Structure 1
Amino acid sequence: MKKLLFLFLLLSSNAFAQRNLNIEETVFGPRTYAVQNLLSTAWIPESNTFTYLDATYQNLMQRSATSSWKEEVLISKADLEKILKEKFSGKEISLRIFPYDYNWLDKQTIKFTVETEESTYYVHYATDTKTISNFIEATNKGTNQELTSDYSKVAYLVGQNISIVDKQGQVTEVTSDTIDGIVNGSDYTHRQEFGINKGMWWNEQNDKLVYYRKDETMVTNYPLIQWEERVATVKNVRYPMAGMKSEEVTLVIYDTKTKQKITLQTGEPKEQYLTAVNWDPSGEFIYVGVLNREQNHLKLNQYAAKDGSFVKTLFEEKSTTWVEPQHPLVFSPKNKNEFIYQSDRDGFNQLYLFNTDGKLLKSLGFEQTVVSDFIGFTAKGESVLYSGVTNNGLDRQLFEVNLKTAKTKQLTKDSGTHSAKLNTTGTYILDQYSNLTTPNNIQVLDVKKGTSTEILKAGNPFVGKINNPKIEFVELQSADGVTPLTGRIIYPSDFDPNKTYPVMYYLYGGSHSQLVTNRWLGGAGYFDIYMAQQGYIVFSMDNRGTDARGKAFASATHRQLGQAEMQDQLKGIDFLKSKSFVDQSKMGIFGWSFGGFMTTSFMVHHPDIFKVAVAGGPVIDWKYYEVMYGERYMDTPQENPEGYKLTSLEDKADKLKGRLLIIHGAQDPVVVQQNSMQFIQGAIKAGKQVDYFLYPSHEHNVSGKERVHMYQKIADYFGDALRGKL
């Protein structure tokens, strides 16, 4: 009997035994061990009720913030699918899940999209009558689809040209350019810098479309070799390298009533950036942020829609480093002659209230809080909501600022990363947050009472399955002694402070990035966790030049990328070396893209620190990088020859000591392969050995099963070098 009991206990303990991640889970683990959540939450307008998808994604649920009942089905996927099939008889309508992109238009209407093999349907569904109240169909052959607010028209791209389809299915070809290098309406204008995520904009009257017309015929063709054919072919992409000829962009208005086109008179020089494009609510004007190629002088200009003429400059913004418009104007629903402008002009990315005469009405900034996301206006248009960065860049909290008084309130309190939504009546906040030790909490906050009601408290998805990683934040000081820096350390599963461990130092360090944040797992990736479970101390830190800490913090790297960044990262290295459990003779470094540049920089500028390194898609010399990003931070090679020489790595391979693996996507249109090839050539000349690996069909990032292959290669490379095999 005792033997049987022992066997039962042994089998039971094994059934619940935890293990380390496997290599496949470094890529697919976030889906396998997803934190419990409510998907697609939204407040129903003019109510205290919110909606979300259930755990199966089959039903749209609703729950009141004020009543005791828990939840009920508002509409099921099955019922919606039946209604759609009846409306679009003869069409193959099949929903895998309830449309997760739904949004409330008013208290009785949601909008969403439905895709079939041939078409995309943009649909309004009335929840009171359970009918399709409005819709329009567009062909799936068209990309970059832009829909009018009244669902009367859809503009889309076919190749390099724009077409418009109306509700009757009539198609109008807006452009018909056939010259290679002339592209209309594309979001890939100015290489999607300056916050550009679309290339076409409808006015509020739904009768005029303004779009980018990009002329890149003068930009150098860059060859990408295609390997899938018997005889390899060449795919050319337009790639303007720093200091070379850039694209010329104009903005064109198309009038759907008269079929006429008008080009905005944005003037000379032709090599300038047209950013922050907005229609005036009246439809009479268009606002454009015109930024010079040097990226240090912005003019917010107003143009007349009737003839494209320049009307006036509302205001200008200048900097000794750079001006980087990232957001369009947001007009006040209460006063159509006032708008919110977002800028770091005073040192921190904050909000400003202007009128259309260009007068600054209010500075809406709060202390040194950085605005991370503009959320919107309250129901009456009296206040603005935004997500702001606090806690030395670690946290994201919800703030409300009154437009009249500029008085600011912080609406969320718990330390962590919040994603919060205020209902239209301003009475309740649906608050979702996580932090280093909290996987996910969702609660409803009563604005007036200050009380909270818990909706969901997610458990740790690793418990009972995967060894839970021990992760800590560390605070260090920047090399200039001015700013605190935050790092993240992940310990091996069987960590013993009396033993020593090898190190994987993972870094990025470039602009608009942040590796360490106060959210679940501290922002760590699953490969970081995997390597820690394999017995490594895994460390990351955000240096000067990264995001969420203000303009001075970001611009410390100007004209000499990699230098201040390395000085700060050396503080992290010193921190690790001060720990008795770190084996200083077995330290490795890994980074991708800008992180690949940083990794390679460390291996030639500080060659005695790391025994092994993996640099993915690395920039080797900024003269090989594109104009828009490269010149913002480095200026042109002609203007800054000393900076380009200092930061270039192609002539420094002779300093290399440790083992270096460079990985590159052979189809990379972002950091072209010429970068890594130049370093390889330099290593050959210097008699240095470098390992090199290409992913033939991948661009800048390696994805899918090939990413599993890549992580296995990196793990093996670290293991061989730091465990005595190399």
Structure 2
Amino acid sequence: MRLHTFLIAVFLLAIQSATAQKKQISLEDIWKNGTFRAERLQSIHSMANGQEYAVQNFDRATRTGSVDIYSYDTGKKVRTAVSSADIEGLDYFISYEFSDDEKQVLLATKLQSIFRRSTLGEYYVWNTLSRKLTKVSDDLIQEPTFSPDGKKIAYGKDNNLFVFDIASGATQQLTTDGKKNSIINGITDWVYEEEFGFVRAFDWSADSKKIAYIRFDESEVPEFSMDVYGNKLYQTQTVFKYPKAGEPNAKVSLRLHNLDTGDSRKAKDVEINLGDNAGYYIPRISWSKDSNVLSVQTLNRHQDTLKLSLFNASTYQTTLAVLETDKAYVDVTDNLTFLDDNSFIWTSEKDGWNHIYHHNADGSLKNQVTSGNWEVTGYYGYDAGTKRIFYQSSENGSINRGVYAIGLNGKKKQALADKEGTNSADFSANYSNFIHTYSNTTTPYRFTLNSAKDGKQIRVIKDNQALKDLYAGYDISPKEFFEIDVNGVSLNAYMIKPTDFDPSKKYPMFMTQYSGPGSQSVANKWDTSNDYWFHMLAQNDYIVVCVDPRGTGLKGRDFKKVTQKELGKYEVQDQIAAAKELSKRAYIDEDRTGIWGWSYGGFMASNCLFQGADTFEMAIAVAPVTSWRFYDTIYTERYMQTPQENASGYDNNSPMSHVSKLEGDFLLVHGSADDNVHVQNATRLVESLVQANKQFDYFNYPDKNHGIYGGNTRLHLFTMMTDFIKEKL
């Protein structure tokens, strides 16, 4: 008996010794040294032959950039399309784009960021046959785009549209009324860029003779100003149009410019009259395979009615193709795909889950391609040769993703990559193969070349084995996925426990979440930088938990849209209920519960602490929305309608309405130059807390935007938050 006890003791000591030898994660590992940086694949362009792909490379020794062509099958370099070493007058380039015939490359230099997606830059055209370099404009321009025939480039500059003829070097100005903070032609305004996710608001017709574009009249949109302090004696001020909820948006109109005016009956530039198919918003335009048929998507202000219309440039008539309505809102996507017969592929939630549909050229429904209680999460494209559609979905579990193929007729579905975890694909131009990316919570990104015919692996490209070996040397316990039942629903969740977890001990619980509409935080994929921070907290004897409440995605339309007109109500109820339910577990100390979040997650963390004073002892809110009255029209009204229509929904769920209930410790953080969630949100919450005589901590990062990064900023932020957690929880 004594010998048996002695052996157990020796065994336990051996385990403790092995654990002690493992490294501890530091904040410097995460935010300074890049210790856990994973190898990624560079952005690739599949060449038209489907057998080769292009990658942009940079040679540090010679300080030259190149676009090199590689074989899919072997991964070996075949040739170089362009190299700055061979071009006199061009020392470097930042990005590239091929013309449709791949004989020319558009090269970008001197890129300057404007907002999240928009940039200004200097651009050149390199002809791979003549080896001639042509500068598009002496000025910095936006969104230059080849015409389909490769002869011209359209671009935006100073809120106007221009067309550059590559052969002659002549430039034609298409619009003349562009004016800062007033009229924009062919480039989106701030709110369209941020919420509809695109910048280029013009499109070439297939015959290269016409350009359709959206004109924005933002003269009545209120201005927002933002001080940037910099390091000079006086600050500068950025002023831009920002429509807050309930305020006027830019008035949009759709215009057509005819570059070929051989037909005297056709005006050179004309506004397209959409008639009954007009909308308050125009979130998408694109020409079909027919050079006379332009597709236009319009939305009403509530965003619960979307119309897909087809405008005929020969007859100037518009017909309604698809009408999508929803009691809450209709999502705008980039999945519209026209086939050779001008029938088209479309995605919709109309059966309660996001699925793929095939419509005839006139818009009538041909058939529903996919169906089931799962979501299509990514549309990859259609192969006319095999008549198959390729897509990603959650049919292998709502926290997982798989890659599938299915016939256009909805038959012969085939799993190409559905191993538990997150699978994604990048298909070659002819859909003969795809680059498969796989990860799960314990496996870093693995890149392989796979056959599109059956999904079989052809070769390994990168496997991040070095990172996996490094990861194994650290004191890390994996995420434990589970479901938690609260408020009559089952919610996805994960938990990270200390590696030396002792069920007889009581641990403080730190909850992380985002909780925004349609989002997902509980996912079976490889770690982000924040995840390493959570593992570091677990090393310090905190149990980290993440719960996706009602309103998040991947569980169907009704689960996602239950929060309509009440952002912050059901999500807060679910987070509080989940915390209470988890606190019943013997190993969780119910008197030491914290929560944090960024942006929407910061809105949630504030509300949870204020409204859940009997549940949460501390919270950290980074760059939070504190009243939806302060946020932009498109995002906010999609879920809340306007403040004039839904004042109670805005005010009852604002953290500012609940400051009097604060009992725990609260840390509020914001960047002073946040053009997205304005620092106004923080200052107004600060004033509310002060007037309620509530003590709290507040930190402002000067001249930092919504991401709060640059230099040591992230390290400083996460050091401050870690110290706050250790002190208060």
TM-score in terms of structure 1 length: 0.85
> Cα gap change, 1:596/1:71 in structure 2, threshold over 3 Å: closer, same or farther?
closer
Tell me which residue corresponds to 2:681: 675
Alignment deviations for residues 619-676 of structure 1 (CA, whole Å, 9 cap, x no partner): 2222222211111111122222332232122232110001111111212222222222
Question: Which of residues 232, 235, 240 is equivalent to 2:238?
Answer: 235
Tell me which residue corresponds to 2:257: 254
Tell me which residue corresponds to 1:202: 204
> Cα gap change, 1:565/1:486 in structure 2, threshold over 3 Å: closer, same or farther?
same
Tell me which residue corresponds to 2:7: none
Question: Which of residues 220, 223, 226 is equivalent to 1:224?
Answer: 226
Query: Shift of the alpha carbon at 1:385?
Result: 0.9
Tell me which residue corresponds to 1:467: 474
Query: Shift of the alpha carbon at 1:93?
Result: 3.2
Tell me which residue corresponds to 1:165: 164
Aligned partners of 2:103 and 2:586: how far apart in 1? 59
Equivalent positions of 1:60-71 (< 5 A) are 60=68, 62=70, 65=73, 71=75
Equivalent positions of 1:267-666 (< 5 A) are 267=275, 272-305=280-313, 309-327=316-334, 329-333=336-340, 335=341, 337-380=342-385, 382-423=387-428, 428-446=433-451, 451-455=456-460, 456-459=462-465, 461=467, 463-464=469-470, 467-477=474-484, 479-482=486-489, 484-492=490-498, 494-521=500-527, 525-666=531-672
Amino acid aligned to 2:644: Q
SS of corresponding position for 2:652: helix
> Cα gap change, 1:606/1:40 in structure 2, threshold over 3 Å: closer, same or farther?
same
Aligned partners of 2:153 and 2:500: how far apart in 1? 58
Equivalent positions of 1:172-187 (< 5 A) are 172-176=172-176, 177-178=178-179, 180-187=181-188
SS of corresponding position for 2:636: helix
> Cα gap change, 1:60/1:19 in structure 2, threshold over 3 Å: closer, same or farther?
farther
Tell me which residue corresponds to 1:9: none
SS of corresponding position for 2:564: coil
Query: Any conservation in 2 of the 1:378–1:424 contact (CA below 8 Å)?
Result: no
Aligned partners of 2:453 and 2:289: how far apart in 1? 33
Aligned partners of 2:79 and 2:705: how far apart in 1? 41
Query: Any conservation in 2 of the 1:247–1:271 contact (CA below 8 Å)?
Result: no
Tell me which residue corresponds to 1:4: none
> Cα gap change, 1:448/1:684 in structure 2, threshold over 3 Å: closer, same or farther?
closer
Query: Shift of the alpha carbon at 1:132?
Result: 5.0
Amino acid aligned to 2:89: K
Aligned partners of 1:669 and 1:37: how far apart in 2? 30
Equivalent positions of 1:148-159 (< 5 A) are 148-159=147-158
Aligned-pair identity (%):
26
Amino acid aligned to 2:174: V
SS of corresponding position for 2:409: coil
Give the aligned length. Answer: 685
Tell me which residue corresponds to 1:8: none
Query: Any conservation in 2 of the 1:196–1:326 contact (CA below 8 Å)?
Result: no
Query: Any conservation in 2 of the 1:237–1:669 contact (CA below 8 Å)?
Result: no
Query: Shift of the alpha carbon at 1:392?
Result: 3.5
Amino acid aligned to 2:207: Q
Alignment deviations for residues 485-519 of structure 1 (CA, whole Å, 9 cap, x no partner): 22222233554444433332111100242212111
Q: CA RMSD in A?
A: 3.4
Amino acid aligned to 2:141: G
SS of corresponding position for 1:644: helix
Query: Shift of the alpha carbon at 1:271?
Result: 7.3
Question: Bigger shift: 522-531 or 637-646?
Answer: 522-531
Amino acid aligned to 2:680: Q
Amino acid aligned to 1:156: Y
Query: Any conservation in 1 of the 2:346–2:359 contact (CA below 8 Å)?
Result: yes
2:702 is aligned with 1:704? no
Query: Any conservation in 2 of the 1:397–1:412 contact (CA below 8 Å)?
Result: yes
Aligned partners of 1:530 and 1:610: how far apart in 2? 21
Query: Shift of the alpha carbon at 1:682?
Result: 1.7
Query: Any conservation in 2 of the 1:429–1:446 contact (CA below 8 Å)?
Result: yes
Tell me which residue corresponds to 2:273: 265
Query: Shift of the alpha carbon at 1:269?
Result: 11
Amino acid aligned to 2:285: V
Aligned partners of 2:59 and 2:438: how far apart in 1? 22
> Cα gap change, 1:44/1:293 in structure 2, threshold over 3 Å: closer, same or farther?
closer
Alignment deviations for residues 155-178 of structure 1 (CA, whole Å, 9 cap, x no partner): 222232222222133222222323
Alignment deviations for residues 560-599 of structure 1 (CA, whole Å, 9 cap, x no partner): 1112112322353245323333333222211111111101
SS of corresponding position for 1:599: helix
Query: Shift of the alpha carbon at 1:530?
Result: 3.3
Query: Shift of the alpha carbon at 1:464?
Result: 4.3
Query: Any conservation in 2 of the 1:596–1:616 contact (CA below 8 Å)?
Result: yes
Query: Shift of the alpha carbon at 1:196?
Result: 3.5
Aligned partners of 2:599 and 2:703: how far apart in 1? 17
Query: Shift of the alpha carbon at 1:546?
Result: 1.6
Alignment deviations for residues 181-232 of structure 1 (CA, whole Å, 9 cap, x no partner): 2122223364332443432211112222222211111111223233235344
Tell me which residue corresponds to 2:117: none
Amino acid aligned to 1:611: E
Query: Shift of the alpha carbon at 1:468?
Result: 4.6
Amino acid aligned to 1:676: A
> Cα gap change, 1:104/1:301 in structure 2, threshold over 3 Å: closer, same or farther?
closer
Query: Any conservation in 2 of the 1:590–1:599 contact (CA below 8 Å)?
Result: yes
Query: Any conservation in 2 of the 1:617–1:671 contact (CA below 8 Å)?
Result: yes
Please, which runs of 5 or more residues in structure 2 have no aligned partner? 1-16, 61-65, 111-120, 262-266
Alignment deviations for residues 314-358 of structure 1 (CA, whole Å, 9 cap, x no partner): 23121111122222521013x2x2011122122122211112312
TM-score in terms of structure 2 length: 0.85
Amino acid aligned to 2:582: L
Amino acid aligned to 2:160: N
Aligned partners of 2:173 and 2:71: how far apart in 1? 46
2:31 is aligned with 1:27? yes
Aligned partners of 1:559 and 1:514: how far apart in 2? 20
Aligned partners of 1:28 and 1:462: how far apart in 2? 20
Amino acid aligned to 1:382: K
Query: Shift of the alpha carbon at 1:141?
Result: 0.5
Query: Shift of the alpha carbon at 1:618?
Result: 1.5
Amino acid aligned to 1:21: I
Aligned partners of 1:178 and 1:346: how far apart in 2? 44
Aligned partners of 1:468 and 1:54: how far apart in 2? 36
